[in-house]
């Protein structure tokens, strides 16, 4: 009985403690529970000591990044920079993210922001809501680094704009991408992601990119996505390219094996929403199809693509020798022709055993 009584007392004490904690909560509020706009107003009303205390506390909870939102008001910008400098002297931030609202902002003020010494070591820069001229864009592109992100949305960019560094950031989002040309995409090197909004790229541009990707000496991009505005046939992306249609609605090509590539497989998909997605993969990368309970890899498709490319290579060599033999009957060349023909026959037999069909220039499993 005493045990039951003790438990009952503990239960009553627990209820009382819960009521007391609830009463304390009703006297105030938790800042992170507020809507974003209300939270911003509360922070703006703080004095510098409160802001520093808040930032230090947030650092303990979310230690990854610090951020600075900048609008057209120069006075608030200077105050924010002063607070940031003070924080940087007492806190070691892992990274700095800048978000600039361009609406109503002058070019002079924008240049002041980008040339502020305390902001130069940013990891991510976001620009939105306005227009930006070529001179200011050149300043942004001049800060390109392989570990920096650049996101520009809701911002008009001159249609004739070009900069060699425009695609040398780590993670890129250009909402207005009508100025982007295929020459831009061919400068990609070891980037993580590129996402383009409205653009004027064509299916011929996609074909050019895929061919360039195949023979590139380096890994270009992990993920590239954009919407083609003009009508297209996906088979036209693969003109003169060996491609395998594997898992449902997934097209695969493989990098030139003579190139040193970490991710030798390019996966191309075009979902119903019209976004064209190109992703480079490791050949032993595992994935799980929808509804499946087992992991799979691209290794079987990689093997098949290597055989298909070998067949294409042998056919090309055979055609070259055949042209040469039209003007010369060199015995060594005849023997070489017969050797290639035998090798080509063996490769063709191997493919036949794998049950493939060629339709509109695309190999598919039967």
Q: Per-block average pLDDT, block size 10, for the chain (366 residues)?
A: 38 49 50 65 65 52 59 77 75 78 89 87 91 93 94 93 96 96 95 94 94 96 89 85 83 92 92 84 82 80 90 92 84 89 90 75 72
Read off the DSSP letter of residue 257.
Answer: T
Which one, of 112, 125, 107, lies nearest residue 174 by Cα? 125
CA distance 66 to 154: 24
**Could you tell me where the beta strands, DSSP code E, fall in the chain?**
66-70, 96-101, 124-131, 149-156, 171-177, 191-199, 221-227, 244-245, 250-254, 265-269, 275-281, 286-287, 296-297, 356-359, 362-365
Q: What is the pLDDT, as a whole number, of residue 228?
A: 82
Helix/strand/coil for 245: strand
CA distance 66 to 90: 13
Q: What is the pLDDT, as a whole number, of residue 52?
A: 56
Q: What is the pLDDT, as a whole number, of residue 332?
A: 85
Cβ neighbors of 44 (< 8 A, separation 6 or more) are none
Q: What is the pLDDT, as a whole number, of residue 30?
A: 62
Cα angle at 193 between 188 and 196, to 5 degrees?
Answer: 85
CA distance 91 to 81: 15
Cβ neighbors of 61 (< 8 A, separation 6 or more) are none
Phi-psi region at 94: left, alpha or beta (left = phi > 0; alpha = psi -120 to 50): alpha
pLDDT in tens, 299-352: 888 988 999 999 999 999 999 988 888 887 788 888 999 999 999 999 888 888
CA distance 270 to 235: 12
Give the tokens for residue 155. 């911002």
Pairing state of beta strands 96-101 and 66-70?
parallel
Please check whether residue 121 is in contact with residue 85, taking contact to mean a CB–CB distance below 8 angstroms.
no
Please check whether residue 152 is in contact with residue 128, taking contact to mean a CB–CB distance below 8 angstroms.
yes
Q: What is the pLDDT, as a whole number, of residue 31?
A: 61
Q: Is the torsion defined by CA of 74, 76, 82, 87 positive or negative?
A: negative
CA distance 18 to 124: 43
Tell me if the pTM is above 0.85: no
């Amino acid at each position: 009985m005493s045990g039951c009584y003790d438990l009952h007392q503990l239960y009553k004490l627990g209820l009382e403690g819960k009521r007391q904690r609830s009463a304390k909560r009703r006297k105030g509020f938790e800042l992170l529970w507020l809507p974003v706009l209300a939270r911003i107003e509360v922070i703006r009303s703080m004095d510098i000591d409160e802001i520093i205390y808040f930032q230090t506390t947030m650092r303990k909870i979310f230690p990854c990044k610090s951020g600075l939102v900048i609008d057209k008001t120069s006075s608030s910008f200077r105050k924010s920079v002063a607070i940031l400098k003070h924080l940087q002297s007492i806190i070691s931030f892992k990274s700095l993210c800048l978000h600039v609202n361009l609406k109503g902002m002058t070019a002079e003020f924008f240049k002041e922001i980008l040339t502020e010494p305390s902001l130069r070591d940013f990891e991510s820069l976001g620009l939105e809501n306005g227009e930006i001229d070529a001179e200011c864009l050149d300043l942004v592109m001049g800060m390109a680094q392989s570990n920096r992100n650049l996101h520009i949305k809701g911002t008009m960019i001159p249609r004739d704009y070009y900069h060699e560094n425009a695609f040398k950031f780590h993670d890129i989002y250009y909402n207005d991408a009508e100025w982007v040309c295929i020459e831009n995409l061919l400068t990609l090197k070891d980037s993580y992601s590129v996402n383009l909004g409205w653009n004027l790229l064509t299916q011929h541009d996609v074909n050019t990119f895929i061919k360039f990707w195949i023979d590139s000496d380096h890994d270009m991009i992990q993920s590239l996505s954009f919407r083609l505005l003009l009508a297209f046939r996906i088979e036209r992306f693969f003109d003169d390219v060996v491609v395998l249609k594997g898992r449902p609605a997934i097209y695969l090509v493989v990098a030139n094996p003579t190139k040193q590539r970490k991710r030798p497989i390019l996966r191309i998909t075009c979902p119903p929403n019209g976004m064209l997605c190109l992703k480079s993969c490791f050949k032993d990368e595992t994935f799980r199809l929808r509804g499946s309970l087992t992991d799979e890899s691209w290794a079987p498709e990689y093997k098949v693509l290597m055989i298909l490319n070998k067949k294409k290579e042998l056919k090309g060599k055979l055609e070259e020798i055949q042209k040469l033999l039209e003007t010369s009957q060199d015995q060594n060349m005849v023997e070489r022709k017969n050797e290639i023909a035998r090798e080509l026959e063996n490769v063709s037999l191997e493919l036949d055993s794998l049950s493939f069909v060629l339709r509109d220039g695309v190999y598919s499993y039967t």
